[in-house]
Structure 1
Amino acid sequence: MSVFSGRPAYLQIADDLRSQILEGALQADDKLPSEPALMDDYGVSRIVVRQALDVLRAEGLIVKQQGRGSFVRALVPPTKRVLGHLYNERPEGSPFAAVTSAGGQRPEWDYQSRKTAASKVIADRLGIAPGDPVMRTSYRFLADDEPVMLSTSFEPLAITGGTSIEQPESGTVTGVVPRFDQIGLHITHVKEDVNGRAARPYEAETLQVPQGVPVLVIERTYYVEDQPVETADIVVSSARYVLSYRLEIPPRT
């Protein structure tokens, strides 16, 4: 390819390589030509080639492997998280454990729980007053020893304080729905709001999020009728998960 004047050369090179990736000439896990080869192909300097590759990395299209070169990143996440599959039947344990085990992987998680005061944001989500006591639990979820999801949950101690489920992970039952069943509060529905944003440093490091790839943040709240009883912020890499929702349409009357 010849690089023409009128537009920065590194952007023209990025355009050409991007087209090859999106059109399938370069496919997932394919290695890009080396920097010297790209210099020869486009007739530009090494710095121009590196600028072009930086553009593609920032877009999440390629990843650099130290000592090996640059490779095309898979554009379709390997794992589909289907909301309907989580709640087709009333859970008897952790939905994460069930989904991960069904995929042939070993689920594990570590956590830290502590009592704290609800911020205004969390108070609004739980329908309580700012400053009210809540149990805050931070989770790191792993599949086959690899961190795949982060979560921070909040439960109002006005509901769980002094009960057998005050400490979310201290009993023999895991999972929000069966835990609340134990104290006679039967969750009726769950609401999820999903947003995308750039990964924060800890998230990028822990979940190994490639440069330029956003994370998906799921704001999940469990309800007993109209009363929120637990809310959580769940973070996954969009390089790993696609969120799939199945919504029932009421029949014609």
Structure 2
Amino acid sequence: MSTFSGRPAYLQIADDLRSQILDGTLKTDDKLPSEPELMTDYGVSRIVVRQALDVLRTEGLIVKQQGRGSYVRSLRPPTRRVIGHLYNERPQSSPFASVTSAGGQRPEWDYQSRKTTASKVIADRLGIAPGDPVMRTSYRFLADDEPVMLSTSFEPLAITEGTEIEQPESGPVTGVVPRFDRIGLHITHVKEDVTGRAARPYEAETLSVPQGVPVLVIERTYYVEDRPVETADIVVSSARYLLSYRLEIPGRD
């Protein structure tokens, strides 16, 4: 191992292993050499090897399997979500159910709805006043019994209260678009803002987010013309979902 760089030994080892992962020498699901093997290969102590492996785990490049060792984590999520074509046709049910079923998996979700009041952030997104009544619904979405997505949605009760869609999951249909169609409000467009951040403890545990892997947070708002009628915060692991965009370019005149 070269020491002329002046970098600590554990960082040099991490650099070398990282390069092997990124250039494909070490591939997805490959097992890294054991700690004793790395100690011999690099001529360092066990604590230095462990520090190097901790760096790679923090970066989300490897995962540790208890009693088996460390393995290269897949850098490409297995599930592609095509944002630009999510609504090629007007949905008749939950988009999650449709997409999950199309992928050969069984969709399920559990939820809890309750009446509450809008915070300033939610009020701004819905175009209402802070403190106005809203229906808040928290979801946990599963594919083949495995939790894959969390969501919290808000709908102004000034629109839905007393209608057959007041309870988002207890009416005649599910899915935001077909639900609002039932009361004569036809959603015209959806806006999504996507950010990334570290997983919070509940998110990491529920979605099995590997250490060092960020979550994607999708702020989605449905509109009827210029009027927002539902907004939601959706959380998925970036280890599972790739947000893939396909946007049509208008033809030349």
The alignment's TM-score, normalised by the length of structure 1, stands at: 0.98
CA contact (8 A) 1:83 1:243 kept: yes
CA contact (8 A) 2:85 2:246 kept: no
Q: In the alignment, residue 12 of structure 1 is paired with which amino acid?
A: Q
SS at match of 1:129: coil
Cα distance in 1, alignment partners of residues 172 and 63 from structure 2: 42
Shift of 1:247: 1.4
Partner of 2:118: 118
Within 5 Å, which residues of 2 pair with 1:165-176?
165-176=165-176
Q: Alpha carbon RMSD of aligned pairs, Å?
A: 0.7
After superposition, give the CA deviation of every residue in 1:168-221 in whole Å (9 maximum; x if it has no partner): 000231100000000000000000000000000000000000000000000000
Cα distance in 1, alignment partners of residues 52 and 60 from structure 2: 13
Cα distance in 1, alignment partners of residues 51 and 159 from structure 2: 55
After superposition, give the CA deviation of every residue in 1:129-149 in whole Å (9 maximum; x if it has no partner): 000000000000000000000
CA contact (8 A) 1:3 1:42 kept: no
Say whether 1:179 aligns with 2:162.
Answer: no
Partner of 1:162: 162
CA contact (8 A) 1:21 1:27 kept: yes
SS at match of 2:230: strand
Cα distance in 1, alignment partners of residues 248 and 84 from structure 2: 10
Cα distance in 1, alignment partners of residues 38 and 169 from structure 2: 54
Partner of 2:206: 206
Shift of 1:245: 1.5
Cα distance in 1, alignment partners of residues 120 and 154 from structure 2: 13
Shift of 1:252: 2.1
Q: In the alignment, residue 223 of structure 1 is paired with which amino acid?
A: Y
Cα distance in 2, alignment partners of residues 185 and 28 from structure 1: 47
The alignment's TM-score, normalised by the length of structure 2, stands at: 0.98
CA contact (8 A) 1:3 1:13 kept: no
Q: Which is worse superposed, 32-41 or 83-92?
A: 83-92
Partner of 1:75: 75
Cα distance in 2, alignment partners of residues 82 and 244 from structure 1: 5
SS at match of 1:155: strand
Q: In the alignment, residue 126 of structure 2 is paired with which amino acid?
A: L
Within 5 Å, which residues of 2 pair with 1:206-225?
206-225=206-225
Cα distance in 2, alignment partners of residues 245 and 168 from structure 1: 28
Cα distance in 1, alignment partners of residues 94 and 247 from structure 2: 22
SS at match of 1:76: coil
Partner of 2:232: 232
Say whether 1:51 aligns with 2:63.
Answer: no
How many pairs align?
A: 252
Partner of 2:3: 4
After superposition, give the CA deviation of every residue in 1:50-85 in whole Å (9 maximum; x if it has no partner): 000000001000001111110000000000001233
Unaligned runs of 5+ in 2: none
Unaligned runs of 5+ in 1: none
Within 5 Å, which residues of 2 pair with 1:114-153?
114-153=114-153
CA contact (8 A) 1:3 1:43 kept: no
Q: In the alignment, residue 102 of structure 2 is paired with which amino acid?
A: A
Cα distance in 2, alignment partners of residues 79 and 196 from structure 1: 17
